[in-house]
Every structure is written in C-alpha cells, then in structure tokens.
A and B are shown apart, each in its own frame.
Chain A
C-alpha cells in the first residue's frame, strides 16, 4: 500500500493569477489551503518555505475583493507576518497557508505578488 494513497475529496475551484496576468484554475480539495493548491499543482509565485506553519510569509497572495468577507478572519500571527511580506501588504493580502478551502470558497480568485522573497 502506498503511503500516499489518494482518497478523492470534494474540491473548490481556485483561480491563481500571476503578477504578469497568467491565469490557472485549479480544483483544490476542500480543507486544503490556497498555498497547498498552488504548490501541489506547480503554480509558481508561491514559495511556502516553511510548509504551512505561518513561519515564513512566502505564500503571500492578494485575494479578489469580492471574496474577502467569505474568508476566515486573520489570526494574530498571520496579522504580524503579513506586515513583513516581501511585496507590500494590501488590504486584500493574506497568507495562502492560512486560507483553507470550503465549499463557500468555490470560485475563489487570488493574485500572486511579483516576488515572495
């Protein structure tokens, strides 16, 4: 048996737009993060050096404004890390590792910054 046996999970579609404007729509399993969806599908523009521990601020994304009120609120540690991202924080900035997909977030649109570090 493989250690990585896959069980199909319901997904939410996420559109990742690069700073250059390239778009990719990816079906990300519910419960995984915006960061994992990117990393597992080769979306460049997200580094995620710490693997999702809210430690490195290299999975910075700008969330399309229309989705902001549907996201889980920003926790204290994410708040402080967001003030230290490589590209400037905007009102719609989030760390991709802290945004977990729910059914409600199906269709989410995020833009990656020019650089993460």
Chain B
C-alpha cells in the first residue's frame, strides 16, 4: 500500500482533491490538514448570504462529518504543515507529529493583505472573521470600507441593506478596476449610490485615518501562502510554480488554487487565480493525475459576485482587453460586456443575463470566433454559434 495523499490546506481546493480522489477510486489513505478549526467550508457565502443574516454559518459547511468518515478522509483540523521532508516523504506538523505521503498537494490558499494603520481594522476571509464581523456589523452605525473590490463591495451592500451608513474608499479611480471594464465600474458605482452607499476615490492610505467610523473593514487583496513550499526549496513567483498538470518541480508535489502560479491559456501565460472554479477544477486535475489518468488543467475561468439585487457572472479573463462592447442596455440592469483582444473574444461579464454567461463558457472553451458586432446583436442567438 502506498503511503497515501496528504493535502495541506482544507479550503475548497483541498477538500475537492480528497473528494475527487475517492470518486476516482483512489483507495489509499487521504489526510486533509486544515489550519482553521471545524469542518471544511466554502468562503463565498461568508460575505454574502451569511453576512446578510440570510444563512447560518453551518450552511457554508462543505460536507457533514459523516462524509469524511464514510469516505475515509482523515481530517487534521486546527493543524498546520510546517515542513516538507522530501527525503523521507513526510510532512511535519505544527503539533509535532508527521504524516507520510506518496503524493503531497499544497492547497494552502492565500491570506489577506493587511493595512499598516493605527486603528482597528477588520478583515474577512475565514469563518471566524465572518462570525466576528457579522456581530460587529450589527452594533455599528457608520462603516468605513477600504477597497472597492468584490469583498469590499459585497460587505458594503450587506451593511447598507442593514441600514448602516457606509463609506467605501478606493485607491483607484473606479470600482473593481483590476477585473471589470469601466462601463461595469460605473454601473456598480451607480447601483451603490442609488442604495445610499458613499464613495471616495483615489484615496491614499495615509488619508484613511481621517475618516470617522465605528467599524473599519478592509478588502484590499490577498497574498498567496507560499512559505511552506518556499522553505522546502520549491520555486515561487507570485505563487507556487507548477506546470500544466499542477506539479511542482518535484513531480510528487502538486499545488492548486489561490496559491498556485500555473500556465493558463486564457491568461496567455502564467497566472494565479483566486476563485472557487479554479480551486475545484485544479483539484480534479490533480486527483485524476494521482490515479494515473493525468489531464492538463485547461478549464475556463469563471467567477461571480452578488451585490444588492444584482448578480454579476464573469467568464474568461478580461485583463489585456483592447476593446469591449455591451450586449443589452446597462439601464435595463440586464446586459453583458464582451471583451476582445486582437479581435478575439477573451471574456464576458454578465449582469442578470445568465444565459450569456453559460453560452460564454462554451464559446471561450471552444475558442469560437465572435465579432464585436455579433456580440452586440441582440437578435443573434449566441447558442447558434456553439
């Protein structure tokens, strides 16, 4: 019997490796090591349904305890892998023990970038932080949110819906600037303004201390957790460096999810993607590789965010676009933005147009040619092109 698979990190990706290994018929030991206490859970609801009080924390749990027992997945929660002993093929644990592996998967995720501020700042990534923030939110009246990205805006929407006064300060000149087209930034600014959220753009960090608030929340991006890999000599360059099979230079050690810098044809090179889709699909690739049916990771990236009554669904990677066109009218709150680079479709962002999003996944995966004029033409059924 081989020693089994050890997975460092019990987030969405780590969990999925374990689950997929069993559904692929893997029979040896599986050990899932998670730094946080409690059963593995999903993060997306933390800033959405849970924060809004529409869902209890247990609804975020990925599986009940019985699942791990039935599937023979050993959970080491509240535990941390501190060292990889290549020579003896074992992972050393913070508590002092060690676990042998025949394959090791690094799914160590990312952590919040912190602000060097001399006032108390809340962050949101973990279940514990979410529980704490929800409590604080109830008692607060004026909330300052630093960062107009997904997390900041999702929290702003929830806080405003709870009747709080909300000010969002953003260093850039527009919202979600790293990922969406200006037309969408404007749409979201107008949406939040119409709901009573206030904004200040182009704020320097040193100015933030001047704003009054009884709760300050920052969502200013994350840093990949690469230290375990780095300390053991694995290559790191904004993420743990892996090939198209998600393998590090050591073929028995894989890295997936938020912490993995992988070749991605949608990015036109190496990238690191922080999303459920990326974590889950990479986990599946790794599980398939471990059971001897390797296939390169090649899934279409997709993402979503819920703010107020609006759902934004994104597919593809829009960075590097040189042209974008809207399908439908933004004023109708039902439209998509199609992004092109050198006349090739690279991404679609959809507001309340899930059909565009779903057909977009197929168009992008297949590399289907689509002109900006076709994208704009509402009389054209995009499904005919698939």
- Pick from A3, A44, A53: contact of B127, CB below 8 A: A3
B204 contacts the other chain (CB 8 A): no
Given the known inter-chain contacts A4-B61, A50-B276, please indicate yes or no for A81 contacting B358, CB distance below 8 A. yes
B130 to chain A, nearest CB (A): 11
For B355, list chain A residues within 8 Å (CB): 80-81, 83-84
B38 contacts the other chain (CB 8 A): yes
User: Which of B63-71, B160-168, B189-197 lines the interface with chain A?
Assistant: B63-71
A21 contacts the other chain (CB 8 A): no
For B131, list chain A residues within 8 Å (CB): 3
Given the known inter-chain contacts A4-B38, A49-B280, please indicate yes or no for A77 contacting B304, CB distance below 8 A. no
Q: How far apart are the CA atoms of A40 and B127 in the complex, in Å?
A: 19
B352 contacts the other chain (CB 8 A): yes
Q: How far apart are the CA atoms of A3 and B313 in the complex, in Å?
A: 31
Given the known inter-chain contacts A4-B39, A51-B42, A53-B306, please indicate yes or no for A84 contacting B358, CB distance below 8 A. yes
A42 contacts the other chain (CB 8 A): yes
* Cβ–Cβ contact A80 & B353, under 8 A: yes
Mask: chain A, 61-93; 1 = CB below 8 Å from B; 0 = not = 000000000000000110011011000000000
B372 contacts the other chain (CB 8 A): no
* Cβ–Cβ contact B58 & A55, under 8 A: no
B271 contacts the other chain (CB 8 A): no
Q: How far apart are the CA atoms of A42 and B65 in the complex, in Å?
A: 11
Q: How far apart are the CA atoms of A21 and B306 in the complex, in Å?
A: 37
Mask: chain A, 25-40; 1 = CB below 8 Å from B; 0 = not = 0000000000010011
Cross-chain pair count, CB within 8 angstroms: 63
Mask: chain B, 52-75; 1 = CB below 8 Å from A; 0 = not = 000001111101101100100000
* Cβ–Cβ contact B127 & A42, under 8 A: no
Q: How far apart are the CA atoms of A3 and B60 in the complex, in Å?
A: 11
- Pick from B63, B304, B313, B358: contact of A40, CB below 8 A: B63
Given the known inter-chain contacts A2-B38, A55-B304, A84-B359, please indicate yes or no for A49 contacting B354, CB distance below 8 A. no
Q: How far apart are the CA atoms of A39 and B66 in the complex, in Å?
A: 12
A41 to chain B, nearest CB (A): 8
B289 contacts the other chain (CB 8 A): no
- Pick from A36, A39, A80: contact of B354, CB below 8 A: A80
For A50, list chain B residues within 8 Å (CB): 44, 276, 304
A14 contacts the other chain (CB 8 A): no
* Cβ–Cβ contact A39 & B39, under 8 A: no
B26 to chain A, nearest CB (A): 16
Q: How far apart are the CA atoms of A57 and B306 in the complex, in Å?
A: 17
* Cβ–Cβ contact B58 & A77, under 8 A: no
Please tell me the size bucket of the interface on B. Answer: 20 to 34
- Pick from B48, B58, B276: contact of A3, CB below 8 A: B58
Q: How far apart are the CA atoms of A71 and B276 in the complex, in Å?
A: 29
List the B residue with the shortest CB-CB distance to A6. Answer: B58
B311 contacts the other chain (CB 8 A): yes
- Pick from A3, A39, A55, A77: contact of B352, CB below 8 A: A77
- Pick from B58, B63, B304: contact of A53, CB below 8 A: B304
A84 to chain B, nearest CB (A): 3
For B48, list chain A residues within 8 Å (CB): 53
For A76, list chain B residues within 8 Å (CB): 352
B11 contacts the other chain (CB 8 A): no
Mask: chain B, 277-316; 1 = CB below 8 Å from A; 0 = not = 1001000000000000000000000101010000101000
* Cβ–Cβ contact B57 & A3, under 8 A: yes
Q: How far apart are the CA atoms of A34 and B47 in the complex, in Å?
A: 23
* Cβ–Cβ contact A49 & B38, under 8 A: no
A5 to chain B, nearest CB (A): 8
Q: How far apart are the CA atoms of A2 and B77 in the complex, in Å?
A: 13
Q: How far apart are the CA atoms of A111 and B101 in the complex, in Å?
A: 39
For A3, A42, A57, the residue with the greatest tally of chain B CB atoms inside 10 Å of its CB is A3
Binding site for B on A (CB under 8 A): 2-6, 36, 39-40, 42, 44, 49-51, 53-55, 57, 76-77, 80-81, 83-84
Q: What 3 A-B pairs come out closest when comparing CB atoms?
A: A84-B358, A80-B354, A80-B355
Binding site for A on B (CB under 8 A): 23, 37-39, 42, 44-45, 48, 57-61, 63-64, 66-67, 70, 127, 131, 276-277, 280, 302, 304, 306, 311, 313, 352-355, 358-359
Q: A4-B38, A76-B352, A84-B355 are in contact. List 10 more A-B contacts (CB 8 A).
A: A3-B57, A3-B131, A4-B57, A4-B58, A42-B66, A53-B306, A55-B304, A77-B352, A80-B355, A84-B359
Q: Return 6 A-B CB contacts under 8 Å, by A number.
A: A3-B127, A4-B57, A53-B44, A53-B306, A55-B313, A83-B355
